[in-house]
Amino acid sequence: MTTSQPPISRADLRRNQVLTAATECFRAHGFHGTSMSQLSKASGMSVGHIYHYFENKEAIIEAIVENDLLKILQIPERIEQSRGERDIFDALVADVEQSAADAFYDPDAALLLEIVAEAARNPRIANIIRRAEATAMESIKNYIRKGLLQRETAFSEQSLDTACNLLAALFEGLTIRLIRNPDLSLQHSIPMMRRIIRYMLEQEIPETASR
């Protein structure tokens, strides 16, 4: 028996209409280069109507960041649906192909970099980014904890935090490298990424090893 999705409210449709237009405008003109009049024209809504749903451009950015966060929170669920008899770490390594492809072909990559750049100048945007980051990292940590439990392995919280941050850096770095080097090969990157991730999760590196 399948369950039908609840209908989307008119307000949510309008919000999504603004977000779609804002994504296109920010991608083309940047955060500061986009005016509310441009958003109005792109969305087909009056400026006043836009302000009914979003207090300002920062609020629009917050909604875009939240949408990106949802994609990250869905990764463990996606891995679980396809892992079958494999343990979590083997399934996570196998999923590298999908996660790397998502990083390579993300149409909003330049937009998200624009938001991160704005966060370096705008404390409110920085707080939005950091709140989303904390939620995303906790989700990843919880999934890695389950994998460690399956293998009867333990990491200190510091090692777990470092491993999860480096995992994130690996995939986020792909996006930046692709902008710098459009000829970067996804096909050749995946095996190396799998090797790196497998090594990171095999065992905790003693703290003395970093000294």
Mean pLDDT of the chain: 90
**Structure confidence at residue 1 as a pLDDT band (50, 70, 90):** very low
14 pLDDT above the threshold of 70: yes
Q: What is the pLDDT of residues 112-148, one digit of tens each?
A: 888 898 899 999 999 999 999 999 999 999 999 999 9
Name the one residue in this structure whose structure tokens are 């280069």: 33
- 56: amino acid identity, one letter: N
DSSP category for residue 35: -
93 CB contacts (<8 Å, ≥6 apart)?
194, 197, 198, 201
CATH 1.20.120.550 describes domain 10-54: no
Q: What's the CA gap between 96 and 99, in Å, rounded?
A: 5
Residue 205: what pLDDT? Answer: 72
User: Which CATH number applies to 56-204?
Assistant: 1.10.357.10
What is the pLDDT averaged over residues 159-173? 94
Residue 192 burial (10 A CB sphere; 0-12, 13-18, 19+): exposed
Q: What is the pLDDT of residues 67-76, one digit of tens each?
A: 999 999 999 9
DSSP category for residue 56: S
Q: What's the CA gap between 165 and 172, in Å, rounded?
A: 10
Measured in whole angstroms, how far is the alpha carbon of residue 80 from the centre of its chain? 18
Angle 186-202/157-180 helices, nearest 10 degrees?
170
Residue 11: what pLDDT? Answer: 85
In Å, what is the CA distance from 186 to each residue of 82, 128, 177, 192?
21, 31, 11, 10
Please name which of 21, 175, 186 lies closest in space to residue 113, comparing C-alpha atoms. 175
Is residue 205 classed as helix, strand or coil in its secondary structure? coil
Domain residue spans of the chain: 10-54, 56-204
Query: Angle 153-155-158 (CA atoms, 0-180°, nearest 5)?
Result: 175
Q: What is the pLDDT of residues 43-75, one digit of tens each?
A: 999 999 999 999 999 999 999 999 999 999 999
Residue 170: what pLDDT? Answer: 94
Q: What's the CA gap between 150 and 139, in Å, rounded?
A: 17
